[in-house]
Amino acid sequence: MKEYLKRGITSFAISSFAGLLVNLTIDLIANLTGHTGFVSMSSDYISLFPSIVLAAYVNILLYGVIGATFAMATVVYEIERMGFVIQSIIYFVITSSVCMAITIFLWQLYKYPAAIICTLLGFAVSHVLMITNEYRRIKADIKVINEISAGRE
Q: What domain count does the chain have?
A: 1
Predicted TM-score (pTM) of this structure? 0.82
Q: How far apart are CA 92 and CA 51, in angstroms?
A: 34
Per-residue pLDDT of the chain (153 residues; tens, 9 = 90+): 789 899 999 999 999 999 999 999 999 999 999 999 899 898 899 999 999 999 999 999 999 999 999 999 999 998 988 988 899 999 999 999 999 999 889 888 888 888 889 888 998 999 899 989 989 999 999 999 998 888 776
Residue ranges making up the domain that contains 78: 2-152
Q: Return the pLDDT at 112.
A: 85
What pLDDT does residue 107 have? 85
